Amino acid sequence: MAGATRSVIINTSAEQFYSVVADFESYPSFCNDVDAIRVVSRNGGNAQVVFTIKVVKSIDYTLNLVGQPNESLKWTLHQSKWFKYNDGGWDIKDLGDGRCEATYGVDVGLGVFVPRAITKRLVELTFPAMLNQFKARAEQLFPS
């Protein structure tokens, strides 16, 4: 089991930040480790999305995502040959002054055949860096 939780203050509204995390198709343009995204289905705030990330090697997995606009986006693993589980999400708190606090949490379990280097990179480097990439993207799209 490997997990990570990080929070950061974003200089955008909760609504603006949510629009960035819910725009799955744009992830490859600003998330360094995301190679491709394919939205399988979308119904309101819910979606099923295939992610291809590069962590030492390319890894594909499908998540079921459930969004509460401007408040949270949660996911659970639908299918993967690499992950036993991948649960997590974004919690977004409106600070009332044009800023929000975004908390990114993820808990992953990898198959026994997954090299330790991949697990270490996911938890220690990829997930925390992703939070900063989302912050930068939101603040670029919605400057104060």
Q: What are the sequence ranges of the domains in the chain? A: 2-141
For residue range 16-59, list pLDDT tens digits in order: 999 999 999 999 999 998 999 999 999 988 999 999 988 777 88
What tens digit of pLDDT does each residue of 52-88 get?
Answer: 988 777 889 999 999 999 999 999 999 998 888 999 9
Task: Say which residue, 104 or 57, is predicted with more confidence.
Answer: 104
The residue among 10 and 3 whose pLDDT is bigger is 10
> Looking at residue 1, what is its pLDDT?
40
Mean pLDDT of 125-139: 87
DSSP category for residue 26: G
- Domain 2-141 = CATH 3.30.530.20: yes
**Which of 10, 127, 22 has its CA nearest to residue 68?**
22
Nearest to 31 by CA among 52, 7, 17, 48: 52
pLDDT band at 114 (very low <50, low <70, confident <90, very high): low
The phi, psi pair for 15, rounded to 5°, reads: -60, -45
DSSP reduced 3-state for 71: coil
